[in-house]
Amino acid sequence: MSITKICCIGAGYVGGPTMAVIAQKCPHIQVTVVDLNEERIAAWNDENVDNIPIYEPGLSDIVAEARGRNLFFSTNVEKAIDEAQIIFISVNTPTKTYGKGKGMAADLKYIELCARQIARIAKDNKIVVEKSTLPVRTAEAIKSILDNTGNGVQFQILSNPEFLAEGTAVTDLLNPDRILIGGDTSVEGQKAIQSLVDVYANWVPADKILTTNVWSSELSKLTANAFLAQRISSVNAMSELCEKTGADVNEVARAIGMDSRIGPKFLKASVGFGGSCFQKDILNLVYIAKSYGLNEVADYWEQVIIMNDHQKRRFSNKMVQTLYNTVADKKIAFLGWAFKKDTNDTRESAAIYIADDLINEQAQIAVYDPKVSSKKVLADLDYLETRTSEKNSANVTSFSSPYEACASAHAIAVLTEWDEFIAYDWQKIYDGMQKPAFVFDGRNILNRVALESIGFIYQGIGS
């Protein structure tokens, strides 16, 4: 099948950038991204392309090139579904907060709603692509809904998980390690796989496009995120041991990373991983393992989450202990709120939970992040429902300048590895702070020797 029209349901962190790159690389294909959130679609269509709702280096340029030519953002979901030959489902799959599997299982209600809407609208054969991260065998449920509630048309379900790292999403899309496509082993299934392969082949080399059965594809995404998160928790576990023994975790990581069997990536000790994927996907993996009675497997992966939560608590506890066992009415400057650099995504950011701990200790939090608004900072804290929004507002203030955020502060916590933090005039920052002045480097990006020569009392992870 020659593909000329693609629809993507969901204009979020996956759907928006992915479809923008497909549109740029496939000018012969009309790509329509739909979402019921009118405010989000309006932002994607903003005349000033710098105001699109997702910040990723290079993304605004790609959107500017393709938008209005063959890339469209719309709230008209039914029209886009009706016209498309391939429909990507890229909606949120949060962890369930209710019922069976609460706190672990993926909540698939939005996936099911999409499937029922596609089934109701479609009048001709469609290829439906799972782009959201889903539990293994979700395609079976989608297929059942489509076949039993539709208009008698034929559907092929493909799994095409994303392997994007926020902050480098555009680079990852333009030069992927691999494109994974899983589908049915039938003749029709293989034809559907080839149709999607042909789309990616417009810019991705053939040897980087991997095809599998649909179950292997679904499970591969969860497995990849679990392995990456495991490495972070592993090096963070070693960071605590380093602090007790006098070893330096950065030196240990460098030493083991030179082993070709291990490699250097994801071995940077930090205050813990965040983002929308790692914790959610591991909890989902734990739930799946338990549902099959694989309790030892579940316990193994659950420990990755336990270690990550411990690292965040350990960091906030260390701050309190170092600041003479009280932070009440002390100003603590947070440099960074996003869960990592080069993104405005704050989901599961360590900064949220560390701020929560310190507010419980009556600290005053001053936040500076170059891409996160004050409204978002407060919304993240309110979402925890730990205290009233009025209390959060009274204890947390955002600043547009790092120097203002740090002025008269007792301590600074570096919680996002933004490159700009390294280049600051740290002497100026030190001169404006309360003395003694502390730096808690939760991302190990600052020069300890230089800071201590100024007069800072430096506390880094694992050093």
CA torsion sign for 194, 200, 202, 207 is negative
The catalytic position among 7, 26, 131, 162 is 162
The catalytic position among 7, 8, 114, 277 is 277
Active site residue 277: yes
Number of helical H runs and strand E runs in the chain? 18, 14
Please name the residues in contact with 161: beta carbons below 8 A apart, sequence gap of 6 or more.
Answer: 130, 131, 133, 180, 217, 218, 220, 221
How far, in Å, CA of 66 to CA of 48, rounded?
A: 14
CA angle 321, 421, 344 (to 5 degrees): 95
How far, in Å, CA of 340 to CA of 109, rounded?
A: 29
**CB count, 10 Å around CB of 218?**
24
Please name the residues in contact with 152: beta carbons below 8 A apart, sequence gap of 6 or more.
Answer: none
DSSP lists the bridge partners of residue 414 as 335, 441
The catalytic position among 131, 221, 268, 341 is 221
CA distances to 239, 252, 289, 340, 445 from 271, rounded to whole Å, are 10, 17, 28, 11, 12
| Bridge pairing between strands 411-414 and 331-335 | parallel
**CB count, 10 Å around CB of 270?**
27
Active site residue 26: no
Active site residue 162: yes
Catalytic site positions: 162, 221, 277
